[in-house]
Structures are given as C-alpha cells and as structure tokens.
Amino acid sequence: MIKNYIEHANFEDTGFSYTLSLISGKHKMVILYCLMEFEVVRFNELKRYLKHISDKTLSSNLKELEADQLIIRTEYPQIPPKVEYSLSQRGQSLMKVLDQLCAWGEQNRI
C-alpha cells in the first residue's frame, strides 16, 4: 500500500497525506485520544491533561479539529458559559488508526 503512495505523481494528493494533515502537530492526536478516553471533555480539563499548552494553542487546535469534522463542540447558553468537546462519528473512525499507532509503538519500543 505504501508503494502505491510513492508511485503517485503528487504525494499531496494521497489519502496518506490527507490523513497526516488532519492529525499533524504536537497536540492533535493527544486531544483526540483524550476525547476517546473521556468521551466528553471541557476546555480546562483538556488543558490539565495536556499540561504545557497555552490557551491560544489549545483553542487553535480545537478549532482545526472541529473544522475538519473530527470533534463536536457543544456550547450551553448559561452563565458562566459551558462548552464541551467530544469526538464526532468521523473522529471515532479515525481512532481505529490511532489505536494501531499506539499498538505499534508498544510492540516496537526500543
């Protein structure tokens, strides 16, 4: 399968490249994993889980994941405002791929 990607005239047109574009970056896969583990998570809970991430970076990553339809942002009209994040159906389907990455890492850790 990898050979097919190499044979493409333009790597950017491959499914592999597209998938990487969705999960690239330092925090996106961790955010997705956190949402898989805890199902519904608020902003400050994500921030505590990720530890060394700025509000701006976390907010930016969440907006990108939402734009890519991998997560769902639910806003409740109350005071103080309440916003929760969860995996979309599309995001849940990506977790199968991320699980395989985790399994490979466990089996091949040096």
pLDDT in tens, 1-59: 555 555 555 767 788 788 888 888 889 988 998 999 888 999 989 999 888 899 999 99
pLDDT in tens, 47-70: 998 888 999 999 999 999 999 999
Enter the pTM of the model: 0.80
Task: Please write down the long-range contacts of 37-43, taking CB distance under 8 Å and 24 or more positions apart.
Answer: 39/86, 39/87, 40/84, 40/85, 40/86, 41/84, 41/85, 41/86, 42/82, 42/83, 42/84, 42/85, 43/83, 43/85
Judge whether 102 and 110 are in contact, CB under 8 Å. Answer: no
User: Is CATH 1.10.10.10 what the domain over 2-108 is classified as, yes or no?
Assistant: yes
Domain boundaries, the chain: 2-108
